């Protein structure tokens, strides 16, 4: 049966690749994003691939919102969702965040608070419904703070810990809560990096792993899989060595 899918940060390359996999199965979508033109492009693409219907909601996650009202309206319109993917994120300019606290707050709002607040409302809805898959995109950057991206990383750590707790709380309700930790993925977010080499993967690899995680009822995943082992090593480097590294 075709799915009903809620996606925030729907213009993200990862989210779009994920949505395409369900569009061909005739899914219904509710897409949230800040840029109406980009949302329209994603909408047209999903409809052309076979989506049964696509609603769009324009929303900028850098400021506060009444997420309860937004989710309630989308939920009512769709008569519930099977899957929600929360994918919004911004790669924080680490240096700027050291002196510009308003900027730091804004990036934390997008990367952590907007995701946590949306997931809070969606978690309740899924629990009432007694089923559904709620996927939150975190990052390996949240596993351990590093000199080069600890502001971004600390927001992702908040998402990961929130996700652990929500999963624990909703465990008996039949709702699946998934923590997603993508490694280096070729998307607009990472265009400033050299995207070549064996550690880099395409958004479709993540999308495929997300679809499998839903089917297999997984709680968390690193994608591609080998990031689990990279992060296992990084997490276990003793602090007296780690604090001297520049990574």
Ligand X SMILES: NC(=O)c1ccc[n+]([C@@H]2O[C@H](COP(=O)([O-])OP(=O)(O)OC[C@H]3O[C@@H](n4cnc5c(N)ncnc54)[C@H](OP(=O)(O)O)[C@@H]3O)[C@@H](O)[C@H]2O)c1
Which residue in 23, 74, 118, 185 binds ligand X (CB under 6 A)?
A: 185
Q: Is 87 in the site for ligand X (CB under 6 A)?
A: yes
Of the candidates 199, 197, 200, 204, the residue with the CA atom closest to the CA atom of residue 186 = 200
- Min dist. Cβ of residue 174 to ligand X (A): 26
Restricted to residues 194-233, the positions that interact with ligand X (CB under 6 A) are none
Q: Is 12 in the site for ligand X (CB under 6 A)?
A: yes
Q: Is 149 in the site for ligand X (CB under 6 A)?
A: no
**Cross-strand pairs, 181:** 222
Six-digit token pair at 48?
């052309």
Which residue in 31, 42, 88, 122 binds ligand X (CB under 6 A)?
A: 88
Please, which residues have CB within 8 angstroms of residue 98's CB and are 6 or more apart in sequence? Answer: none
Q: Is 62 in the site for ligand X (CB under 6 A)?
A: yes
Please, which residues have CB within 8 angstroms of residue 216's CB and are 6 or more apart in sequence? Answer: none
Restricted to residues 19-38, the positions that interact with ligand X (CB under 6 A) are 33-35, 38
Q: Which residue is nearest to ligand X (CB)?
A: 89
Please report which helix (H) or strand (E) contains residue 8, including its range: strand 4-8
Q: Tally the residues of the chain.
A: 247
Q: Is 139 in the site for ligand X (CB under 6 A)?
A: yes
Q: Is 68 in the site for ligand X (CB under 6 A)?
A: no
């Amino acid at each position: 049966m075709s799915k009903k899918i809620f996606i925030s940060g729907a213009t993200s390359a990862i989210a779009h690749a994920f949505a395409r996999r369900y569009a061909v199965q005739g899914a219904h979508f509710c897409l949230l994003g800040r840029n109406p033109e980009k949302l329209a492009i994603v909408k047209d693409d999903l409809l052309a691939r076979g989506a049964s219907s696509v609603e769009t909601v324009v929303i900028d996650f850098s400021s506060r919102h009444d997420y309860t009202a937004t989710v309630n309206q989308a939920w009512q319109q769709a008569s519930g969702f099977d899957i929600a993917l929360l994918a919004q994120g911004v790669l924080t300019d680490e240096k700027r965040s050291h002196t510009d606290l308003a900027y730091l707050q804004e990036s934390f709002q997008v990367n952590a608070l907007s995701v946590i607040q949306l997931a809070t409302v969606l978690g309740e809805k899924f629990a009432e419904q007694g089923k559904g898959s709620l996927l939150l995109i975190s990052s390996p950057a949240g596993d351990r703070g590093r000199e080069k991206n600890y502001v971004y990383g600390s927001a992702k750590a908040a998402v990961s810990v929130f996700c652990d707790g929500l999963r624990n709380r909703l465990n008996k309700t039949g709702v699946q809560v998934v923590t997603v930790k993508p490694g280096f993925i070729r998307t607009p977010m990472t265009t400033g990096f050299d995207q070549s080499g064996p550690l880099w993967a395409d958004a479709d690899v993540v999308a495929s792993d997300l679809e499998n995680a839903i089917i297999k009822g997984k709680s968390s995943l690193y994608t591609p899989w080998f990031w689990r082992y990279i992060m296992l090593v990084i997490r276990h480097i003793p602090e007296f060595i780690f604090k001297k590294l520049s990574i």
